[in-house]
Structure 1
Amino acid sequence: MNTYSQIYVHIVFAVKGRENLILPSWEEKIYKYITGIVQNKEQKMIAINGMPDHIHFLLGIRPTCCISDMVREIKKSSNLYIQTEQLSKFKFQWQEGFGAFSYSHSHLDMAINYILRQKEHHKKKSFGDEYIEMLQKFNIDYNDKYLLE
């Protein structure tokens, strides 16, 4: 008997200090690079998008996937890629920590649309407000002191 699952996780994390360092000229490169990391780990990238100061992506993951290990690898490898390719003229680093939110199959379209419409969405709402709203929506306890570097 095989293992069958349907696990979807929305991951969010920011550039250290929430600086606007992800430029439109290279954001697609970093999205493709991160997608490659996910695929090499035998997981499925469903949607990826972001803003100059943060990134969102929705994954379909296997039950054996450790989310923390996956995010650690994505941050470490993409940070090295950004530095090696000299995509940012400033020192680039991801923040510590991340948000991870699970979705059922019936809510995938909503999550995908939310991720793909980030630029439109952030014309009305800051990343800080968005992140706090997500934590509250999912009933996640948080400490303001550690919330956003």
Structure 2
Amino acid sequence: MALAKITFNTKGYWLKPTPSEMLNKHFHFFAAASAGCPNKSKIMDLVKISYIRLINLLNMSYVRIWVHLVFSTKNRHPYLTKNIRYKVQKHIMENCREKAIFLQAINGYTEHMHCLISLGREQTISKIAQLIKGESSFWINKNMLTKIPFMWQDDYFAVSVSESGLQAVTNYIKNQEIHHAKKSFDFEVKEFVDKYGFTLEKEDI
């Protein structure tokens, strides 16, 4: 196998071959080694898949942005009874796993849902909200979990969460049922507005 290319930086120091360059060399080595093999195409297909996966891992960016996402049912209608809510939460967790959305915590009450999410490098809040809300609404109606057509409110709250505040927000979400035994969602919304300085229109959330 040919030696990896050696390059120089502006100061004249030798630079070691990058992981991508090394993988590229190995890829061409396998191509040459499998020449004449009856299963060459299958071997190369497997090599290509592994090669692409490794390249993606080696070229990954490091992102850690926590977001507390809150959204309500349309007109805050109390669709989400305990039985329905648990089914919806379980489905959202499964959907997030399938779509590579890192969901740290989820819980809610009769008319709203809280999610604690870590954004990936190519994910946006609006896209995540769309994937969670749109797909879950479709699933609820498809399975006829509610007596009347289900809808989420169009808008949502989304605020960043620091590493130091992560456990507190996680606990807050997990204890939603206890929290709302004493406080209404209307009061919770007012707390959000006051704390984060939102200007809220009545029909927003």
TM-score normalised by L of structure 2: 0.67
The DSSP-based 3-state class of the residue aligned with 1:10 is: strand
**1:40 is matched with which residue?**
98
My pick for the range that moved more, 87-96 or 37-46, is 37-46
Q: Which has the larger radius of gyration?
A: 2
Report deviation, 1:99: 0.4
The DSSP-based 3-state class of the residue aligned with 2:100 is: coil
Q: Partner letter of residue 65 of structure 2?
A: I
- C-alpha separation between the residues in 2 aligned to 1:57 and 1:18? 17
- C-alpha separation between the residues in 1 aligned to 2:186 and 2:116? 19
Q: Partner letter of residue 186 of structure 2?
A: G
Q: Identical aligned pairs, as a percentage?
A: 33
- C-alpha separation between the residues in 2 aligned to 1:94 and 1:109? 27
Report deviation, 1:71: 0.8
The DSSP-based 3-state class of the residue aligned with 1:49 is: strand
Report deviation, 1:138: 2.0
My pick for the range that moved more, 121-130 or 45-54, is 121-130
Report deviation, 1:8: 0.6
- C-alpha separation between the residues in 1 aligned to 2:80 and 2:162? 30
Q: Partner letter of residue 148 of structure 2?
A: F
The DSSP-based 3-state class of the residue aligned with 2:83 is: coil
- C-alpha separation between the residues in 1 aligned to 2:63 and 2:150? 36
1:143 to 2:200 alignment: yes
Q: Is the 8 A contact 1:15 1:21 kept in 2?
A: yes
**1:52 is matched with which residue?**
110
Task: Specify every segment of 5 or more residues in structure 1 that has no aligned partner in the other structure, as ranges.
Answer: none
Q: Partner letter of residue 143 of structure 1?
A: L
- C-alpha separation between the residues in 2 aligned to 1:96 and 1:7? 23
Give runs of aligned pairs for residues 36-115 of structure 1, distance below 5 A.
36-115=94-173
Ranges of 4+ aligned residues in structure 1 off by more than 4 Å: none
- C-alpha separation between the residues in 2 aligned to 1:72 and 1:6? 20
- C-alpha separation between the residues in 1 aligned to 2:94 and 2:101? 10
The higher-RCO structure (CA 8 Å, 6+ apart) is 1
TM-score normalised by L of structure 1: 0.91
**2:68 is matched with which residue?**
10
- C-alpha separation between the residues in 1 aligned to 2:203 and 2:73? 15
The DSSP-based 3-state class of the residue aligned with 2:71 is: strand
1:104–1:86 Cα change, 3 Å = same
Task: Specify every segment of 5 or more residues in structure 2 that has no aligned partner in the other structure, as ranges.
Answer: 1-58
Report deviation, 1:143: 3.2
Report deviation, 1:145: 3.5
Report deviation, 1:22: 0.8
